[in-house]
């Protein structure tokens, strides 16, 4: 005669009655994969065709692309405020307007020095769904003004709010 511990069906049952916990490593990998996919989606939606114009190392190609830019829509107030806070706000305000995926890649501290300004060009707003970009002029103390493009994603936490997804200097 066999007892519960000697080959009976009860012996095959797990001895730990606690519910299974999700594997934290798998959750981290899944979260990282989602972040990477979100960044790729932003790049493909915000700047269509950018990946197919070449590596960008050719100044002539980038200058031609910059000259072919057609006017868009007026800048929404929420995006203008995010751009202002990105360069002129406190360190906390500067980081608060960043999309989470971008914030995770940047160091702590001020993103731009005190006295910096970013003037977005009127009617440069290009939007596709929850993603957009706009052009402007970035002025930092002691540096020549630079033409830039700023990427935005709709801020799901605040109606009409926008988060910054990238900033790139134009030629």
Cβ burial 61-89 (10 Å sphere, 16+ → b, else e): ebeebeeeeeebeebbebbbbbbbbbbeb
Residue 108 lies in a domain: yes
Would 4 be classed as within a structural domain? Answer: no
7 lies in a domain?
no
Tell whether 58 is covered by a domain: yes
**How far is C-alpha 45 from the geometric centre of its chain's CA atoms?**
12
Q: Residue 163: how many CA atoms within 13 Å on its side-chain side?
A: 17
Give the chain's domain count: 1
Residue 94, in any domain of the structure: yes
Q: What is the pLDDT of residue 7?
A: 54
What phi and psi values does residue 118 have, to the nearest 5 degrees? -135, 110
List the alpha helices (DSSP H) in 13-161. 24-46, 59-67, 77-88, 91-96, 100-103
The parent domain of residue 34 ranges over 24-169
Listed range (37-46, 84-93, 158-167) with the worst mean pLDDT = 37-46
Is 12 a domain residue?
no
Does 134 or 34 have the greater pLDDT score?
134
Q: Report the candidate in 52, 83, 73 with the shortest Cα–Cα distance to residue 165.
A: 83
Q: What is the CATH number of the domain that holds 122?
A: 3.10.450
Q: For 107-157, write each residue's pLDDT tens digit.
A: 889 999 999 999 999 999 999 999 999 999 999 999 999 999 999 999 988
């Amino acid at each position: 005669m066999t007892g519960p511990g000697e080959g009976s069906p009860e012996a095959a049952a797990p001895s730990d009655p606690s519910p299974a916990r999700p594997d934290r490593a798998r959750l981290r990998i899944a979260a990282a994969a989602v972040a990477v996919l979100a960044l790729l989606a932003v790049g493909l939606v915000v700047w269509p065709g950018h990946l197919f114009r070449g590596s960008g190392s050719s100044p002539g190609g980038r200058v031609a692309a910059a000259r072919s830019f057609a006017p868009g829509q007026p800048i929404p107030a929420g995006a203008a405020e995010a751009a202002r806070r990105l360069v002129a706000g406190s360190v906390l305000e500067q980081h608060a307007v960043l999309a989470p995926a971008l914030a995770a890649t940047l160091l702590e501290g001020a993103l731009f020095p005190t006295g910096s300004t970013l003037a977005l060009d009127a009617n440069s707003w290009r939007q596709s769904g929850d993603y957009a970009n706009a052009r402007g002029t970035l002025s930092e103390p002691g540096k020549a003004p630079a033409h830039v493009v700023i990427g935005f994603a709709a801020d799901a936490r605040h109606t009409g709010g926008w988060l910054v997804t990238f900033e790139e200097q134009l030629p």
